[in-house]
Amino acid sequence: MDNRDEVSAFLKSRRAKITPEQAGLPVYGQRRVPGLRRAEVAALAGVSVEYYTRVERGNLGGVSDSVLDALAQALRLDDIERDHLHVLARAANTGPPRVRRRPKTPTVRPSVLRIIEGLHDQPAYVHNNRLDILAANPLARALHHEALEQYPANTARYVFLDPRSTRFYPDWERVAHDGVGALRVAVAKHPYDRELSNLIGELSTRSDAFRILWGAHDVHVFTEGVKRFHHPAVGDMELVHETLDLPGEGGLSITVYSAGPGTPAADALKLLASWAATQEQDSAAARPGTER
């Protein structure tokens, strides 16, 4: 992943989203391009046009945090976009590693496995920054059983390459947008991750929808929210999700889904648990050497 190209495309995409009126600038005559001009961003950020032009061409080397914050304010970046700009700047100032080491595959600690397995009434799973599902408790395996049919299980591949995902996620467009945004953040933090680069290349080649969303340069960080599902065995459910990072674990996170007591979603989770138990019993009975 070329950091200069990444920086340039990100800044241009943010500049194109802001109108002069939103920035509090007067408008005179016909404008040929959407959004702000480079000179207008430079003036709002308090830097010269030449300096901003160099930055927008992808050269963030030596740019101070104060200038980055001024640019973020001029471009009206939200907190996630502001952090993304700072991450891009750190990567530009660090440069590629002198020695390319094969990235270590993060392993899920036994204590983390015990945590998610102990959440009997809440789907919980561990994933990395490429959105690979590395471990899941029984309810999460039941909820995401379609995505887990592939190996390695990856929610981005499921969303963009499995047509069943558009039925599973009633808000598929939002899910797709957020997933691409999360991968965009991961690329900025790990620009030399070969497996991540291969995943982006695969999805860009095989999915028009992914390629369009990737070109928008939007960013997203999973924290908390509400997600709707249409499970083929259970039906509709609306679950609250929380994503917690695991410090020092190579970009691993835990995502947990829950439902309020007495809600239709809570009833759906009970039904999902019953369905999962039945599936497990059928699977065990089908294995060779299993007594019936």
Residues 43 and 149 reside in one and the same domain: no
Give the DSSP per-residue string, 228-291.
EEEETTTEEEEEEEEEEE-TTSSS-EEEEEE--TTSHHHHHHHHHHHHHHHHHHHHHHHSTT--
Provide the pLDDT for residue 292.
Answer: 44
* Whether 58 and 115 share a structural domain: no
Same domain, 124 and 244: yes
For residue 161, being part of any structural domain is answered with: yes
Q: What is the pTM of this model?
A: 0.89
Does 87 lie in the same domain as 204?
A: no
Residues 264 and 210 in one domain: yes
Q: Which residues of the chain have pLDDT under 50?
A: 292
Residue-level pLDDT at 95: 65
Domain count, the chain: 2
* Whole-number pLDDT of residue 98: 59
Kindly report the CATH number assigned to the domain that includes residue 183.
Answer: 3.30.450.180
Are 196 and 249 contained in the same domain? Answer: yes
Strands (E), the chain: 124-127, 133-136, 224-231, 235-245, 253-258
Domain span including residue 138: 110-286
CATH code of the domain in which 34 resides: 1.10.260.40
Among 92, 105, 103, 99, residue whose Cα is nearest residue 188: 92
- Shared domain check, 266 and 126: yes
d(CA 174, CA 161): 16
For residue 292 the two structure tokens come to 């019936």
Residues 55/10, Cβ–Cβ less than 8 Å: no
Last residue in a domain, options 94, 128, 148: 94
- Nearest 5°: phi and psi at 82? -65, -45
Domain closes at, from 37, 65, 94: 94
Long-range interactions of 50-57: CB distance < 8 A, separation 24+: 55/7, 55/11, 56/7, 56/8, 56/11, 56/12, 56/15, 57/4, 57/8
The answer to whether position 101 is within a domain reads no
d(CA 153, CA 109): 19
Among candidate residues 94, 120, 155, the one where a domain is terminated:
94
9-61 confidence digits (pLDDT tens)? 999 999 999 988 888 888 777 787 779 999 999 999 999 999 999 999 999 98
Which pLDDT belongs to residue 287?
A: 62
- Same domain for 71 and 163? no
Task: Report the C-alpha gap between 21 and 33 in whole angstroms.
Answer: 14
